[in-house]
Structure 1
Amino acid sequence: MILDEDKQLTPAESQVMKALEMVIDPELGIDLVNLGLIYDVTVTGDTCRVDMTLTTMGCPLTHVLDEAIKQVVTAVEGVEHCEINLVWEPAWDMAKMTRYAKVALGIHE
């Protein structure tokens, strides 16, 4: 989920977040948003910056995810360019997943 819970998303940023729900992690079968891998989206002009992380460093599917992200983000009206900012801090952990993702993966708290 978005790190700064107080951030008000613009309509374009909300559309990007919705579009990112279409990008499924091929190993887990859950979308990147519900997995908690998307930390922030910012749309400025016709460019969107996606701050995100991965479940593990050295993920062999990084290029697959990058292409899928760029495809859905640039399909949002008014967004022509997508910059992906891959970050490792804060580190991802299962607590960042939504309840939906936890239930889908059989994780019970």
Structure 2
Amino acid sequence: MMIATESQLDDEKVKEALRLVIDPELGYNIVDLGLIYAVLVNDGGVVNIVMTTTTRGCPATNYLKEGARDAAWSVPGVEFVDVTLTYEPPWSPQKMSATAKQHLGIADSGEW
């Protein structure tokens, strides 16, 4: 078992960088909005990101994909970034963090 050190690249470091990407329509970061489905850090600094948008045909799709790619590239140790867009499962407000819901004024009652 490897012991994590500050210099090791991991998915949490990439997720922190992805929090700098703000959805232009909702004004909040793509991680807490629940748009990032997976961050996989592989050997050699290869990062795979699986993400979605709030709707199919979202006008900000390319902006968000490029933002995710560029944010991941900014993390030390990243050598290659692949961003995959998916709509399965479809995004819903339930995927947002409690802080994102609070920011957007959405009651976290669990009823949608």
Compute the TM-score of the two structures, normalised by the length of structure 2.
Answer: 0.84
Q: How far does residue 33 in structure 1 lie from its aligned partner after superposition? A: 0.6
Kindly provide the CA deviation profile for residues 3-44 of structure 1, in whole angstroms up to 9, marking residues without a partner as x.
Answer: xxxxxxx85211001111111000000101100110110111
1:27 counterpart (11, 25, 28): 25
Inter-partner Cα distance in structure 2 for 1:38 and 1:66: 10
Inter-partner Cα distance in structure 1 for 2:9 and 2:77: 11
Give aligned-pair identity as a percent.
44
Give the number of aligned pairs: 100
Runs of at least 5 residues in structure 1 that lack an aligned partner in the other structure: 1-9
SS at match of 2:31: helix
Inter-partner Cα distance in structure 2 for 1:89 and 1:63: 18
Question: C-alpha root-mean-square deviation of aligned residues, in Å?
Answer: 1.3
2:14 counterpart (1, 13, 16): 16
Inter-partner Cα distance in structure 1 for 2:106 and 2:59: 24
Runs of 4+ in 1 over 3 A off after TM superposition: none
* Structure 2 equivalent of residue 4 of structure 1: none
* Structure 1 equivalent of residue 4 of structure 2: none
Report 1:1-109 matches (<5 A). Answer: 11-44=9-42, 45-108=44-107, 109=109
Runs of at least 5 residues in structure 2 that lack an aligned partner in the other structure: 1-7
Q: Which of the pair has more CA radius of gyration? A: 2
Compute the TM-score of the two structures, normalised by the length of structure 1.
Answer: 0.86
